[in-house]
Chain A
Amino acid sequence: DQQVKQNSPSLSVQEGRISILNCDYTNSMFDYFLWYKKYPAEGPTFLISISSIKDKNEDGRFTVFLNKSAKHLSLHIVPSQPGDSAVYFCAASHNYGQNFVFGPGTRLSVLP
């Protein structure tokens, strides 16, 4: 049973518009969340994180929102650019530990 779910395998967005990637989790003990981006034939790269004591974290064009009661987080990219086309992974951990549980990823395509 997947503890971290990304129910949309793929998403297409027009350049300049907002991209919203969603992630749901089942373990209420999770207290730290990450988003990674992955290009083909490369390893994932860290994008942004959020602690459970916050409900929002922003870094440039990227904002992550956390809704603990719904066990849901989302990544907003505004404005979307063609270079954002990649697979995005959501990950979660509890006790601020080393062991992260990753979701299956969402492939984002930003169309020019």
Chain B
Amino acid sequence: NAGVTQTPKFRVLKTGQSMTLLCAQDMNHEYMYWYRQDPGMGLRLIHYSVGEGTTAKGEVPDGYNVSRLKKQNFLLGLESAAPSQTSVYFCASSHTGQRYEQYFGPGTRLTVT
């Protein structure tokens, strides 16, 4: 039981490049989330999903897209990376009945130059 895994762990992009972050969970959770964490700030919700095939915007969705084609996977895409997207990205998942208890992945450190 690996819990929540994120790929890759580190990435450096140039401005304008695109990339996809992959989140996978093996706990059969319905809910999945993408957050970003910047220095001196708490985690901010980018997008979330309440089930396969559904997604919704969080607090800071601009510049990101997501997809949830399979229940266990939640993808976060950056179509045209900007230096302001330099951050640590965390994926999380939770069970419907206990959606307040979110299980987080280890994070992806993204630098955009």
Q: Which of chain B's residues 24-58 have a Cβ closer than 8 Å to chain A?
A: 31, 33, 40-45, 48, 50, 56, 58
> Given the complex, which residues of B lie within 8 Å of A49, measured CB to CB?
100-101
Known: A32-B100, A99-B59. A43 touches B42 (CB 8 A): no
**A79, B43: Cα distance in complex, Å:** 28
Give complex CA distance A18, B54 in Å.
44
Residue of A93, A101, A102 most packed against chain B (CB within 10 A): A102
Which residues in A have their C-beta under 8 angstroms from that of B56?
Answer: 98
The answer to whether A99 and B45 have CB atoms under 8 Å apart is yes
Flag if B90 contacts A44 (CB, 8 Å): yes
**Range, interface on chain B:** 20 to 34
Residue B4 at the chain A interface, CB threshold 8 Å = yes
The yes or no answer to B92 lying at the interface (CB within 8 A) is yes
Q: How many residues of A contact B (CB 8 A)?
A: 21
A103 lies within 8 A of B42 (CB):
yes
Is the pair A43, B44 in contact by a Cβ cutoff of 8 Å?
Answer: no
Distance of A46 Cα from B100 Cα, bound (Å): 9
- Evaluate contact between B90 and A43: CB separation under 8 angstroms: yes
B43 touches A42 (CB 8 A): no
Segment among B11-19, B72-80, B104-112 that sits at the interface with chain A: B104-112
Complex CA distance for A104 and B38, rounded to whole angstroms: 9
- Inter-subunit contact A105/B45 (CB<8 Å): no
Known: A102-B43, A102-B44. 14 other contacts (CB 8 A): A43-B107, A44-B43, A44-B90, A45-B104, A46-B101, A46-B102, A49-B101, A91-B43, A98-B56, A99-B48, A99-B59, A104-B40, A104-B41, A105-B42
Listed in ascending order, the chain A residues whose CB lies under 8 Å from chain B are: 4, 32, 34, 41-46, 49, 89, 91, 93, 98-105
Chain B residues at the A interface, C-beta cutoff of 8 Å: 4, 31, 33, 40-45, 48, 50, 56, 58-59, 90, 92, 99-107
Query: What 8 pairs between A and B have smallest CB-CB spacing?
Result: A43-B104, A102-B42, A102-B43, A46-B101, A103-B42, A44-B104, A104-B42, A43-B105
